[in-house]
Amino acid sequence: MKNNIENIIFSRFVNQPIPFEFISFKELYRRCKESNYDLSNPHRIKFNALLIITEGESFHSIDFKEEVLSPGVILPLTKDQIHSFNKNLNVKGCIISFEEKFITENISEKNLFHFLHIYHTPSILIGKENMATLNPFLQLLENLHLDSNNMMKSEIINSTFMALLFQIKRLSIYQHKTFESQRFKDFIQFKQLITEYYHESHNAKDYAKKLNVSYKYLNDVCKQIGYKTAKAFLDSWLLLEAKRNISENQYTSQEIAYKMGFKEPSNFNRFFKKFTNQTPNQFQQNLEKTTLG
């Protein structure tokens, strides 16, 4: 029995002129129940989101890893990640969803740096005792979302959301390391180039050339910020994208191999087994067992 991964675009459940939504967990579950949509089924999102937990405990699956949800936990979700909610509603809080370009197109370079910094963090913990300090920002965003007056609405939402992110970053008990702006920018650009050209090259040196930097510099940046060499970081991204493609149940292993830029399916199988100790087909079978279980 196949459980196809659905690509969820922003407008799937949201119909409004501004690509930004503020919604409670309770309302999201209610909406999906009315639409006959099961949030516990893994799905690939085509927008960004921010999950903020105020009460209760649960878990959230992101790219085949489980993140624990508890008061004070904040999860940044990015476009193309595959995730799923717990079948039962065990937490309270809110979910902010938006198309990334709505936030990033018209902000300063400094603010973009902070935005990317937070969205490079898998999970953020600010502590239950600090949650109340977010309330003024959350209340304003909720009011703006419900406001029918669109005059300057986009600009105010943008500014308020960035202020919320600043406060989250400020309160994070896992203090963010401060990276030199240019090095962090190059690291993010390296990641973006991989998403654009992975089907053409699996050689980290080619990406250093595209960035117009030395391979040694790129390697140093990846080790500092990504805690891996440039090659290891590239391989880990390729493996994750391969898992995402396999989990969608839309392509054969051979099709995924060519889609991922492997010249021969056997090379893809060797690459996948090297890091997972299983073939792509075995990985898919185990995923189906887990889903059915």
Beta carbons within 8 Å of 137's beta carbon, 6+ residues apart: 160, 163, 164, 167
Q: Where are the beta strands (DSSP E) in the chain?
A: 6-8, 20-24, 43-45, 48-56, 58-62, 65-69, 73-77, 82-85, 91-98, 124-125
pLDDT the model gives residue 173: 67
Q: Is the pLDDT of residue 67 over 50?
A: yes
pLDDT band at 285 (very low <50, low <70, confident <90, very high): confident
Least confident segment among 10-19, 112-121, 160-169, 184-193: 10-19
Query: What CA–CA distance (Å, rounded) separates 222 from 95?
Result: 31
Contact 104, 115 (CB under 8 A): yes
- DSSP line for 5-45: PEEE-GGGT--SSSSEEEEEHHHHHHHHHHTT--TTS-EEE
Tens digits of per-residue pLDDT, 141-197?
999 988 888 888 989 999 999 999 999 999 986 655 556 678 888 998 999 999 999
Across the chain, what does the average pLDDT equal?
Answer: 88
pLDDT the model gives residue 250: 84
Give the tokens for residue 62.
């992101």
Alpha helices in 179-229 (DSSP H): 181-197, 204-211, 215-221
pLDDT band at 135 (very low <50, low <70, confident <90, very high): very high
- DSSP line for 46-58: SSEEEEEEEEE-E
Secondary structure of the chain: what % helix, strand, coil (to 5)?
50, 15, 30
pLDDT greater at residue 214 or residue 120: 214
Give the tokens for residue 57.
């405990």
Strand, helix or coil at 202?
A: coil
pTM for this prediction: 0.84
Tens digits of per-residue pLDDT, 220-274?
999 988 889 999 999 999 999 999 999 888 889 999 999 999 999 999 999 999 9
Contact 222, 237 (CB under 8 A): no
Query: What CA–CA distance (Å, rounded) separates 247 from 193?
Result: 23
Residue that is written with structure tokens 């995730």 in the block: 83
pLDDT the model gives residue 174: 61
Share of the chain above pLDDT 90, in %: 62
pLDDT the model gives residue 255: 94
